[in-house]
Chain A
Amino acid sequence: MKATAVLKKYTMLIALVVVIILFSALTGGRLLLAQNVSNLLLQNAYVLIMACGMLLCILTGGNVDLSVGSTLCFAAAVSAKLMSDGKPAGMAILASLVIAAVIGLCQGYLIGYVHIPPFICTLAGMFLFRGAGRVVLSSQTINISNQTFLKIFTSYIKFPGEQNRAVTSSLIICIIVAICITLLQLIQRKTRVSRGYDVDPLPAQLIKLLIIDAVIIWYGSKLMQYKGIPVMIIWILAVVLIFAFLTSQTTFGRYFYAVGGNEKATKLSGIDPRRIYFWAYFLMSFLAGFAGLAHAARIGSVDGSMGNSFEMDAIASCFIGGASAYGGSGNVSGVVVGAILLGVINQGMSIYGLADEWQYVVKGAVLLAAVIFDVVSNHKTGKS
Chain B
Amino acid sequence: MSDFILEMKNITKEYPGVKALDNVNLQVERGEIHALCGENGAGKSTLMNVLSGTIPYGQYTGDIVYNGKTCQFHNIHNSEELGIVIIHQELALIPELTIAENMFLGNERKNKFGVIDWNETYKQAQEEMKRVGLKEKSSTLIKDIGTGKQQLVEIAKALSKHVKLLILDEPTSSLNEEDSKMLLDMLLQFKKEGMTSILITHKLNEVAYCADKITILRDGATIETIGNPNHNIDEERIIKGMVGRELTNRFPAREHRIGKEVMLEAKNWTVHHPVYTEKCIDDKVNFKVHKGEIVGFSGLQGAGRTELAKSLFGRAYGSHISGQEFIGGKEVHLKNERDAIEHGLAYVTEDRKVDGLVLEDSIAWNTTMARMEKVANKWGVIDVPKENKVAGQYVEKMKTKTPSVQQHAGNLSGGNQQKVLLAKWMFADPDVLILDEPTRGIDVGAKYEIYQIMNDMVAQGKAVVMISSEMPELLGMCDRIYVMNEGKIVAEFRAEEATQEKILAAILKSDDKKVEG
Which residues of A come within 8 Å of B, CB atoms?
A: 192, 195, 197-198, 249-252, 254, 257-258, 261-262, 264-272, 328-329, 382-384
B360 touches A269 (CB 8 A): no
Most chain B CB within a 10 A radius of its CB, from A197, A258, A270, A328: A270
In the bound complex, CA of A198 to CA of B365 (Å): 17
Which of A249, A270, A384 has a CB less than 8 Å from the CB of B340? A270
Q: What 10 A-B pairs are tightest by C-beta distance, nearest first?
A: A261-B358, A264-B355, A270-B338, A269-B370, A197-B385, A251-B372, A262-B358, A270-B337, A270-B341, A251-B380
Contacts A267-B316, A268-B349; A251 near B376 (Cβ below 8 A): yes
The interface bits of chain B over 343-354 (1 if a CB of A lies within 8 angstroms of the residue's CB, else 0) are 000010100001
Q: List, sorted by A's number, 12 A–B pairs whose CB atoms are closer than 8 Å.
A: A249-B384, A250-B379, A254-B372, A257-B365, A262-B357, A262-B359, A265-B354, A265-B369, A268-B313, A270-B340, A272-B336, A272-B338
| Interface status of B408 (Cβ within 8 A of chain A) | yes
B365 touches A254 (CB 8 A): yes
Most chain B CB within a 10 A radius of its CB, from A195, A251, A258, A269: A269
How many residues of B sit at the interface, in one of the four size bands? 35 or more
Most chain B CB within a 10 A radius of its CB, from A250, A254, A268, A272: A268
In the bound complex, CA of A215 to CA of B355 (Å): 45
B358 touches A258 (CB 8 A): yes
B337 touches A267 (CB 8 A): yes
| Interface status of B219 (Cβ within 8 A of chain A) | no
Interface residues of B in 321-374 (CB under 8 A from A): 336-342, 347, 349, 354-361, 365, 369-370, 372-373
Rounded to whole Å, the gap between the CB of B107 and the closest CB of chain A is 25
A197 touches B388 (CB 8 A): yes
| Interface status of B411 (Cβ within 8 A of chain A) | yes
| Interface status of B424 (Cβ within 8 A of chain A) | yes
B359 touches A268 (CB 8 A): no
Rounded to whole Å, the gap between the CB of B87 and the closest CB of chain A is 21
| Interface status of B504 (Cβ within 8 A of chain A) | no
Which of B316, B340, B355, B381 has a CB less than 8 Å from the CB of A262? B355
B356 touches A261 (CB 8 A): no
A249 touches B337 (CB 8 A): no
Rounded to whole Å, the gap between the CB of A56 and the closest CB of chain B is 15
| Interface status of B62 (Cβ within 8 A of chain A) | no
Nearest chain-B residue to A255 (Cβ)? B372
In the bound complex, CA of A198 to CA of B339 (Å): 36
In the bound complex, CA of A258 to CA of B357 (Å): 9
B360: chain A residues at CB < 8 Å are 261, 328-329, 383-384
In the bound complex, CA of A165 to CA of B82 (Å): 79
Can you name 4 extra interface pairs (CB under 8 A) apart from A270-B336, A272-B336?
Answer: A249-B381, A261-B359, A262-B359, A264-B355
In the bound complex, CA of A270 to CA of B341 (Å): 7
In the bound complex, CA of A267 to CA of B355 (Å): 9
B382 touches A254 (CB 8 A): yes
A269: chain B residues at CB < 8 Å are 337, 341, 369-370, 424
In the bound complex, CA of A239 to CA of B381 (Å): 18
Rounded to whole Å, the gap between the CB of B118 and the closest CB of chain A is 32
Contacts A258-B361, A268-B347, A269-B370; A250 near B341 (Cβ below 8 A): no
In the bound complex, CA of A126 to CA of B385 (Å): 43
A250 touches B376 (CB 8 A): yes
In the bound complex, CA of A254 to CA of B381 (Å): 10
A265 touches B382 (CB 8 A): no
In the bound complex, CA of A169 to CA of B181 (Å): 82
In the bound complex, CA of A329 to CA of B388 (Å): 19
Rounded to whole Å, the gap between the CB of B150 and the closest CB of chain A is 21
Rounded to whole Å, the gap between the CB of B495 and the closest CB of chain A is 29
Interface residues of B in 287-344 (CB under 8 A from A): 313-314, 316, 336-342
A192: chain B residues at CB < 8 Å are 385
B361 touches A270 (CB 8 A): no
Which of B359, B361, B384 has a CB less than 8 Å from the CB of A257? B361
A272: chain B residues at CB < 8 Å are 336, 338
B380: chain A residues at CB < 8 Å are 250-252
In the bound complex, CA of A271 to CA of B411 (Å): 24
In the bound complex, CA of A247 to CA of B385 (Å): 16
In the bound complex, CA of A270 to CA of B370 (Å): 6
A261 touches B361 (CB 8 A): yes
A262: chain B residues at CB < 8 Å are 355, 357-359
B252: chain A residues at CB < 8 Å are none
Nearest chain-A residue to B355 (Cβ)? A264
A251 touches B373 (CB 8 A): yes
A383: chain B residues at CB < 8 Å are 360, 408, 410
Rounded to whole Å, the gap between the CB of A185 and the closest CB of chain B is 15
Which of A249, A250, A264 has a CB less than 8 Å from the CB of B354? A264
In the bound complex, CA of A328 to CA of B340 (Å): 26
Which of A250, A258, A266, A268 has a CB less than 8 Å from the CB of B382? A250
In the bound complex, CA of A265 to CA of B389 (Å): 23
Rounded to whole Å, the gap between the CB of A269 and the closest CB of chain B is 4
A261: chain B residues at CB < 8 Å are 358-361
In the bound complex, CA of A219 to CA of B337 (Å): 50
A265 touches B410 (CB 8 A): no
Nearest chain-A residue to B317 (Cβ)? A268
Rounded to whole Å, the gap between the CB of A142 and the closest CB of chain B is 41
A268 touches B358 (CB 8 A): no
In the bound complex, CA of A269 to CA of B410 (Å): 18
In the bound complex, CA of A56 to CA of B410 (Å): 23
In the bound complex, CA of A270 to CA of B339 (Å): 8
Rounded to whole Å, the gap between the CB of B184 and the closest CB of chain A is 32
Nearest chain-B residue to A265 (Cβ)? B355
In the bound complex, CA of A266 to CA of B339 (Å): 14
Rounded to whole Å, the gap between the CB of A166 and the closest CB of chain B is 42
In the bound complex, CA of A198 to CA of B361 (Å): 19
Rounded to whole Å, the gap between the CB of B371 and the closest CB of chain A is 8
In the bound complex, CA of A108 to CA of B183 (Å): 49
A265: chain B residues at CB < 8 Å are 349, 354-358, 369
In the bound complex, CA of A192 to CA of B365 (Å): 20
In the bound complex, CA of A269 to CA of B341 (Å): 8
Nearest chain-B residue to A245 (Cβ)? B381
Rounded to whole Å, the gap between the CB of A292 and the closest CB of chain B is 29
Contacts A265-B349, A271-B338, A272-B338; A251 near B408 (Cβ below 8 A): no
B373: chain A residues at CB < 8 Å are 251
Rounded to whole Å, the gap between the CB of A108 and the closest CB of chain B is 19
In the bound complex, CA of A270 to CA of B354 (Å): 16
Which of A250, A268, A329, A384 has a CB less than 8 Å from the CB of B381? A250
B358 touches A195 (CB 8 A): no
In the bound complex, CA of A262 to CA of B365 (Å): 13
B355 touches A268 (CB 8 A): yes
In the bound complex, CA of A328 to CA of B380 (Å): 20
In the bound complex, CA of A262 to CA of B385 (Å): 24
Contacts A197-B385, A197-B388; A328 near B361 (Cβ below 8 A): yes
In the bound complex, CA of A195 to CA of B360 (Å): 29
